[in-house]
């Protein structure tokens, strides 16, 4: 069916062979078979001429003891075994559809949860401070990434004729997809660097200039994405750049893995500093920061593990399916995970939501409790249980310090090293 | 006497004729077929390839049409002569053509493959190094903004 394969094979057939008893190299109509020693079975990957042939399956050909290719008993003609190529195809197609819909659901859920989190962060103005600003940027990059992935999945992956036509638009879409993927991981890195600067470098100091973080998070990912686009265009210009069989993908995945490793290193360093140096002198404080670091420290390996186990797909059929499910969950439900850990599991967000809910209930005629005063006393009294909330106010104390929290400053002043506030 | 021998004689003739016809048809898919494809198909292919500059003989995009026509031609003749296709004669015919026209073409084919390592390496390593540099820059700048150098 493919003239070029026969062309290439025949070119190669002209070169003369070696010695010993072997079956001669031959063209069987679909694939070219090399000189094979007598009494062995040789194999190749199935060709992709037919839609239901899976090119990861194997086609085999038997060379008999006498140096002749195996002949099929019914027709007495030389015969190669292509039965495995389309044997499992219907099952695999079904699995592929399941994974496809899983991916779409994952990204849709991620977008929904991230938009809710952003709404929470924008609505509750008193939550906002520098770390929350970084969270907002991270969430926006995840939303854009999920949106682009959804468009890519629905418009390109599910559409073989678009892939066949190979318009420039689908390559541009792929470029932006790679860019947004980079943005996700570089914003995680920004979070790590921010915490590192805050805790280790300039111990518990207030304002940092966020310009460099914006540059690293939004600007820098253009670099690997552009280099990937150029390399792909020049060396591996397949239709819509869909193939994942190329090492050129490491042009984008390499910097991402580097960012994750650096992030992990920073976070472990923070933990080391908190545990060793600050434990004795600033116990309550280090506990607080530990909670903040813990969230990021949980996320970074979860985001990164997909890159570590990606190359090792098991050969076994069942294990391979399990691997596919796990990889898809790790890859496509990340936005949901980030929103949950950074927003929904955040103590202060939960407190703010509870307050709002109580206010609404009070508006509908229920007895109103004085939550503002309860909140401030609970901060000073129970520093451990309300620790995350404490931490964020501490983070933001440069903005709020001379405002309504002066009553609780006694505790805060004791925590801040060598600084006094009026 | 003659009437008894004639049926025997005609039977022998018939037998011989049948045998001869069989061998002729077998020979037809051997020698005659080979002669037919050389006569009818090879001439056009030669003309087409001569029109193409010799340097383009190894370019698949340029040779696909004449090559396809040649293959089609051998198939049609096999069909007309009631022979199985492909067969040994057609294989040897194509091997001769390849030896003449395509003996020094490269074997890599059109399959997309990664660039060689000395190109792939820098493409991967340079962005990683730039990433690490950029990270160091951001850490350094945020240190400086605290007044701690």
- Report ipTM for this prediction: 0.71
Per-residue pLDDT, A77: 85
Q: Is the pLDDT of residue A392 over 60?
A: no
Per-residue pLDDT, A367: 53
Q: Is the pLDDT of residue B23 over 70?
A: no
Q: How many angstroms away from the CA of B107 is the closest CA of chain A?
A: 6
Torsion of CA B35, B37, B38, B42, to 10 degrees: 170
CA nearest B60 in A: which residue?
A4
Confirm or reject contact between A250 and chain B (CB < 8 A). yes
What are the Cα distances from residue B128, in Å, to A98, A123, A155, B89, B101? 35, 38, 32, 57, 47
Please give the span between the terminal C-alpha atoms of chain A, in angstroms, as a whole number: 85
Q: How many angstroms away from the CA of A213 is the closest CA of chain B?
A: 7
A117 confidence band (pLDDT: 50, 70, 90): very high
Give the residue-averaged pLDDT of B100-107: 76
Per-residue pLDDT, B9: 55
- Regarding predicted confidence, which is higher, A347 or A403? A347
Confirm or reject contact between B146 and chain A (CB < 8 A). yes
Smallest CA-to-CA distance from A317 within A66, A87, A5 is with: A87
A36 DSSP 8-state letter? E
A78 DSSP 8-state letter? B
Q: How many angstroms away from the CA of B20 is the closest CA of chain A?
A: 25
Per-residue pLDDT, A279: 65
Give the residue-averaged pLDDT of A107-119: 95
Mean pLDDT of all residues belonging to chain A: 79
A-chain residues near B122 (CB < 8 A): none
Query: Are the beta carbons of B142 and A259 separated by less than 8 Å?
Result: no
Per-residue pLDDT, A251: 93
- Picking from A14, A216, A246, the nearest residue to B99 by CB comes out as A14
Mean pLDDT of all residues belonging to chain B: 78
Per-residue pLDDT, B14: 53
- Regarding predicted confidence, which is higher, A106 or A128? A106
Per-residue pLDDT, A372: 43
Q: How many angstroms away from the CA of B98 is the closest CA of chain A?
A: 6
A273 confidence band (pLDDT: 50, 70, 90): confident
Query: Are the beta carbons of B114 and A196 separated by less than 8 Å?
Result: no
Alpha helices in chain B (DSSP H): 2-27, 33-40, 42-51, 60-80, 88-101, 117-145
Q: By mean pLDDT, which of A107-116, B33-42, B49-58 is the weakest?
A: B49-58
Give the residue-averaged pLDDT of A258-278: 86
Query: Are the beta carbons of A251 and B124 separated by less than 8 Å?
Result: yes
Q: Is the pLDDT of residue A376 over 50?
A: no
Per-residue pLDDT, A399: 32
**CB < 8 Å from B in window 183-212 of A:** 189-190, 193-194, 196-197, 201-202, 205, 208-209, 212
B31 confidence band (pLDDT: 50, 70, 90): confident
Per-residue pLDDT, B109: 52
Give the residue-averaged pLDDT of A360-368: 73
Per the structure block, which two tokens stand in for A302?
């979860």
Give the tens place of pLDDT for each residue, A141-178: 999 999 999 999 999 888 888 888 889 999 999 999 99
Give the tens place of pLDDT for each residue, A181-195: 999 999 999 999 998
A217 DSSP 8-state letter? I
B-chain residues near A220 (CB < 8 A): 131, 134
Give the tens place of pLDDT for each residue, A196-230: 888 877 665 667 788 899 999 999 999 999 999 99
Give the tens place of pLDDT for each residue, A300-322: 888 888 887 777 778 777 888 89
Confirm or reject contact between A11 and chain B (CB < 8 A). yes
A48 φ, ψ (degrees, to nearest 5): -110, 30
């Amino acid at each position: 069916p493919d003239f070029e394969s026969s062309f290439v094979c025949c070119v190669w057939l002209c070169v003369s062979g070696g010695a010993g008893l072997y079956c001669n190299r031959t063209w069987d109509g679909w694939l070219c078979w090399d000189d094979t020693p007598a009494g062995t079975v040789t194999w190749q990957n199935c060709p992709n001429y037919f839609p239901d042939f899976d090119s990861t399956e194997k086609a085999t050909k038997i060379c008999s003891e006498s140096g002749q290719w195996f002949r099929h008993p019914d027709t007495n003609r030389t015969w190669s075994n292509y039965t495995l190529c389309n044997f499992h195809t219907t099952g695999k197609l079904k699995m592929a559809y399941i994974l496809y819909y899983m991916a779409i659901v994952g990204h849709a859920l991620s977008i929904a949860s991230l938009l809710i989190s952003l709404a929470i962060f924008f609505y509750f103005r008193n939550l906002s401070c520098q770390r929350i600003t970084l969270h907002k940027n991270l969430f926006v990059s995840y939303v854009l990434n999920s949106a682009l992935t959804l468009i890519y999945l629905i418009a390109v992956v599910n559409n073989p004729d678009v892939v066949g036509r190979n318009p420039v638009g689908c390559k541009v879409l792929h470029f932006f997809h790679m860019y947004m993927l980079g943005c996700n991981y570089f914003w995680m890195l920004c979070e790590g660097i921010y915490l590192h600067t805050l805790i280790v470098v300039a111990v518990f100091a207030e304002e940092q200039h966020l310009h460099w973080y914006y540059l690293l998070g939004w600007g820098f990912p253009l670099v690997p994405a552009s280099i990937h686009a150029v390399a792909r265009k020049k060396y591996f210009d397949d239709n819509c750049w869909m193939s994942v069989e190329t090492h050129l993908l490491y042009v984008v995945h390499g910097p991402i893995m580097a960012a994750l490793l650096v992030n992990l290193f920073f976070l472990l360093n923070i933990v080391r500093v908190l545990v060793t140096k600050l434990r004795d002198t600033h116990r309550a404080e280090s506990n607080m920061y530990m909670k903040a670091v813990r969230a990021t420290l949980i996320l970074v390996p979860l985001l990164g593990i997909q890159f570590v186990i990606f190359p090792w797909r098991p050969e076994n059929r069942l294990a391979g399916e399990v691997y596919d499910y796990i990889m898809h969950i790790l890859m496509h439900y990340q936005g949901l995970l980030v929103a949950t850990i950074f927003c929904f599991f955040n103590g202060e967000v939960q407190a703010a939501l509870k307050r709002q809910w109580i206010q609404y209930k009070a508006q509908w005629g229920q007895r109103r409790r004085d939550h503002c005063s309860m909140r401030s006393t609970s901060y000073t009294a129970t520093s451990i249980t309300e620790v995350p909330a404490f931490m964020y106010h501490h983070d933001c104390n440069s903005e709020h310090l001379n405002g309504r929290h002066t009553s609780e400053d006694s505790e805060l002043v004791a925590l801040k090293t060598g600084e006094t506030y009026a | 006497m003659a009437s008894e021998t004639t049926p025997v004689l005609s039977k022998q003739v018939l037998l011989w004729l049948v045998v001869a016809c069989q061998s002729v048809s077998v020979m037809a898919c051997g020698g005659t077929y080979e002669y037919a494809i050389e006569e009818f198909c090879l001439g056009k292919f030669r003309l087409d390839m001569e029109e193409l500059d010799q340097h383009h003989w190894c370019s698949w995009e340029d040779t696909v049409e004449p090559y396809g026509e040649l293959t089609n031609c051998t198939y049609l003749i096999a069909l007309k002569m009631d022979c199985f296709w492909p067969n040994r004669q057609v294989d040897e015919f194509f091997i001769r053509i390849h030896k003449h026209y395509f003996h020094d073409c490269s074997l890599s084919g059109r399959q997309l493959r990664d660039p060689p390592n000395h190109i792939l390496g820098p493409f991967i390593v340079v962005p990683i190094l730039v990433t690490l540099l950029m990270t160091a820059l951001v850490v350094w700048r945020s240190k400086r903004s605290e007044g701690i150098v």
